[in-house]
Amino acid sequence: MIISFVLLCGSCGLSKRERTDIGETERMNDSIRRENDLGIRAEAIADSILARMTLEEKAAQLMMPALFSRDDAYTLKVLGEYGKKGVGGVVLLKGDSESARHLSDSLSKASAVIPFISIDAEWGLGMRLSDEPVYPVNSEVGKVATEEEMFRYGALVARQCREIGINMVLGPVLDVADSTSFMGRRSYGADPVRVSDLAVAYARGLESEGVMSVAKHFPGHGAATGDSHKKKPVVERTLHQMDSIDLYPFKKYIESGLSAVMVGHLAVPAIDPEMRPAAVSPTVINRLLVKDLGFDGLILTDALNMGGAEGNGADKAIEAGANMILAPVKTDSEIKRVVEAVSKGEIKEEELDGKVRKILFYKALMMLRRQKNKEKENKEKE
């Protein structure tokens, strides 16, 4: 039986654990954000931090290696190395909440710039952490939820994330899919309008509580022929079908001014005849997502260690327009690969600076929003 969303999304009574350390971020072209005081302050913080970074530190900010949420000696050793390298963040895999909290604290203390601590929480933290609440999968949620309930649901998940130091959710899923699709249970359904309404409301709920949302999997995984974890799937839809179905939710997410988009490892010949995985395709990212759809937020790749990305390195994704690389196969090697690409002129350093500035901007903006929310809460208690 599906849990009532009125009950599911009610107040959770969690204590609020805030961080005061701000790591920092990018000059945005969005006039709305520029008019916002928090955005202006975040830009200033970003520029200040960027000015002190070496080329290697800049390259490291692009990386978000994956790590199991296990509080053991090996994991802590690896985490310490990530902190020394100054990686932009990590992706938490399966484990438990106490270990995740410890890992989050350890990496934050070891890092000169606050890291993104991200997790797949498409239907709550229970999707990855064994002792967290398990909510209905998206296909079930899509049948019953209202936009108001989805907003409250996102806010609830964000508060649970903050309790264990997670500041980025790799969701919502904007893929439009029916029950026969590989993405069936992960999608809110086959109606692009309903998918966008529910997903955008969930993302707004996350961000209202200071946790970044990451819409995925651009340009749309719903009609893909297979699992991109194993191999590169192909989407055979026409441009008209992509525009009216798959891209519709992403357009609404972008129009809502939300933060980040994840690009998948799928080939869409109607968009890129070269059949490159979308995450390393300049046609998909630079032309479609950035220029045509006007997205100026943070762009992440799907995990680069997936079968669908085989043979493609971080440098190719960065050249295509991505800002951050999820789960690189070898973090050290990918940092060196980006540094070499800059040294050879394949990636311009000013282009790298723009990407890092954007990362730092969002980190600063996220923390400033949390501080503002906390100040508001304190005033309401007086």
* Pick from 35-39, 140-144, 297-301: least confident: 35-39
Residue 224 has pLDDT above 50, yes or no: yes
SS3 168: strand
Residue 167 lies in a domain: yes
pLDDT for the residue numbered 341: 92
For the chain, counts of helices (H) and of strands (E): 14, 9
Return the CATH number at 66.
3.20.20.300
pLDDT for the residue numbered 242: 95
Any idea which residue has 């080329």 for tokens? Answer: 55
**9 CA to centre of own chain:** 22
Residue 116 lies in a domain: yes
Q: Which has more pLDDT, 141 or 25?
A: 141
Exposure on the CB side of residue 273, measured as CA atoms within 13 A: 0
Q: Which amino acid is at 132?
A: E
Residue 356 CB partners (closer than 8 Å, separation 6+): 26, 50, 53, 58, 61, 62
Confidence of residue 64 (pLDDT cuts 50, 70, 90): very high
pTM for the whole thing?
0.88
First-to-final CA distance of the chain: 42
Question: Quick one: average pLDDT of 154-175?
Answer: 96
Residue 24 lies in a domain: no
CA–CA dist 211, 233 (Å, integer): 31
Contact between 79 and 103 (Cβ < 8 Å): yes
Say how many C-beta atoms besides its own lie within 10 A of residue 180's C-beta.
7
Closest CA relative to residue 104, chosen from 127, 137, 129, 126 = 129
> Tens of pLDDT along 103-120?
999 999 989 899 999 999
Q: Which has more pLDDT, 47 or 228?
A: 47
CA–CA dist 266, 8 (Å, integer): 34
Residue 2 has pLDDT above 60, yes or no: no
* Cis status, amide bond into 136, omega within 30 of 0: no
Q: Which residues pair with 64 in a beta bridge?
A: 326
CA–CA dist 27, 358 (Å, integer): 6
Residue 17 lies in a domain: no
Confidence of residue 263 (pLDDT cuts 50, 70, 90): very high
| Residue from 120, 246, 302, 315 carrying the catalytic annotation | 302
Closest CA relative to residue 162, chosen from 329, 351, 12 = 12
Q: In the chain, how many domains are there?
A: 1
Known active-site residue 191? no
Contact between 308 and 232 (Cβ < 8 Å): yes
Expressed as residue numbers, the domain containing 342 is: 30-39+54-375
CA–CA dist 14, 159 (Å, integer): 7
Say how many C-beta atoms besides its own lie within 10 A of residue 332's C-beta.
13
Confidence of residue 17 (pLDDT cuts 50, 70, 90): very low
Confidence of residue 223 (pLDDT cuts 50, 70, 90): confident
Q: Where are the alpha helices (DSSP H) in the chain?
A: 5-8, 31-35, 37-50, 55-61, 73-85, 97-110, 138-144, 147-163, 192-208, 239-241, 247-255, 314-320, 331-343, 349-381
Residue 70 has pLDDT above 80, yes or no: yes
Known active-site residue 302? yes
> Tens of pLDDT along 335-346?
999 999 999 999
pLDDT for the residue numbered 59: 97
Q: Which has more pLDDT, 247 or 184?
A: 247
Q: Token pair for residue 369?
A: 């929003």
Closest CA relative to residue 227, chosen from 186, 284, 283 = 186
| Residue from 191, 229, 243, 296 carrying the catalytic annotation | 229
Closest CA relative to residue 224, chosen from 232, 216, 215 = 232
Residue 34 lies in a domain: yes
Q: Which amino acid is at 177?
A: A
Instruction: Return mean pLDDT, the chain.
Output: 87
CA–CA dist 148, 169 (Å, integer): 19
DSSP assignment of 80-120? HHHHHHT-SEEEEEEE-HHHHHHHHHHHHHH-SSPPEEEE-
**353 CA to centre of own chain:** 20
pLDDT for the residue numbered 19: 32
Q: Which residues pair with 262 in a beta bridge?
A: 300
